[in-house]
Amino acid sequence: MILIAGLGNPGNMYKNTRHNFGFKVLENITGYNFNKKFNSLISKHQDDLAWLALPQTFMNNSGLAIKKIADYYKIKPKDIWVIHDDIDLQLGKIRINFNRSAAGHHGIESIIKSLKTKEFWRIRLGILGTEKNKIPTDNYVLQKFNAQEMKLVKKAISKTHEALNEFLKIGISSTTYKIS
């Protein structure tokens, strides 16, 4: 069994922000129910190949929810796929890595701390746009995507869905994978 977790912050004020890109990839998949034990919205993949989760713990405590889900369903860290924003990548770029440091991403830091390992998959979604140099990082990641950027966001979401479906069929085998 695989656990696919999209990272973000709960609440309407964070909807469509750069930091909620991980949520955005998974949020349109139907069938989520809030599970109080996991403090997450959770759904089973249509082919029963994976659990999908949207932790409701806020980004910086994502690891708490992911650890609870993984422990309950006996999912090993190597079978956890985390989808999240990455300010080091241009908007629209997607990278997939295994066993990588948090690189300053507090949600990933929380997961590494909770799992006591960095040996899980990361699907990194670029959020870097042209305005980044003018705005502090903490404020930038909480900005909403503009209309022009949403075109790239939708394309990245579509490519990520295609990759996830392929990976669920054949598995992820490389340690670095470039989608776009």
CA–CA distances in Å: residue 72 to residues 1, 51, 67, 76: 12, 12, 8, 11
Please calculate the CA angle 8-55-122 and round it to the nearest 5 degrees: 65
Query: Would residue 19 show up in a list of annotated catalytic residues for this protein?
Result: yes
Distance between CA atoms of 28 and 114, rounded to whole angstroms? 27
Catalytic residue among 19, 45, 105, 161: 19
Distance between CA atoms of 113 and 78, rounded to whole angstroms? 15
The token duo for 82 is 């985390």
Residues in contact with 37: Cβ distance below 8 Å, sequence separation at least 6, in sequence order: 68, 72
Which residues have a catalytic role annotated?
Answer: 19
